[in-house]
Amino acid sequence: MDEDKVLNTLQREGLALASVQKRAVAFFIDDMIISLLFGLIFYKEFSALSGDPIAMVNFVNAIFPYVLFVKILYHTVFVYLYGATLGKMALKIRVIDIAYLDTPDFITALSRALVRVVSEMIFYLGFVWALFNQLNLTWHDRVAKTLVVDA
């Protein structure tokens, strides 16, 4: 991918890349929403286990696959339907397909969400990658061929 060509296309279309700082705040908002959701659903269990750290760790490990599923579902559905998650909407940024400069299709949104979760699990290295290129591309952006721009 020729970064200069993409930047020229964005400029011609009047689009600006979202800053890494905006993306980080949107990430935080999205993760807080998902955490709050699970906290509310499992409030009684968390309260009952609060005095037993081993039981708490075991419980969190048991629900971990559900958390991953919800994260993937959340990011896929919101990016596919709206081009942005709730965190991105709050920061007025959105995800676009590089080729069409439009909201990604379902498969693109799904692949982006899957690689995003993998990036999180590998010490957020996929996110750090955005600091080292002109287009602020993370691993999930590269795989899905997407950009995050100001809305």
State residue 150's pLDDT score.
Answer: 98
- In the prediction, which pLDDT does 70 show? 97
Q: Which tens digit of pLDDT belongs to each residue from 80-135?
A: 999 999 999 999 999 999 999 999 999 999 999 999 999 999 999 999 999 999 99
> What pLDDT digit, counting tens, does each position of 6-33 carry?
999 999 999 999 999 999 999 999 999 9
Confidence at residue 125, expressed as pLDDT on a 0 to 100 scale: 96
Model pLDDT, residue 106: 98
Given this model, what pLDDT does residue 50 score? 87
pLDDT of residue 39: 94
Q: For the segment 42-84, what is each residue's pLDDT rounded down to a tens digit? A: 999 999 998 899 999 999 999 999 999 999 999 999 999 999 9
pLDDT, residue 73, reads: 98
State pTM to two decimals.
0.94
pLDDT at 57: 95
Which residues, including other chains, have CB under 8 Å from residue 59's CB and lie 6 or more apart? Answer: 42, 45, 46, 49
pLDDT at 1 over 80: no
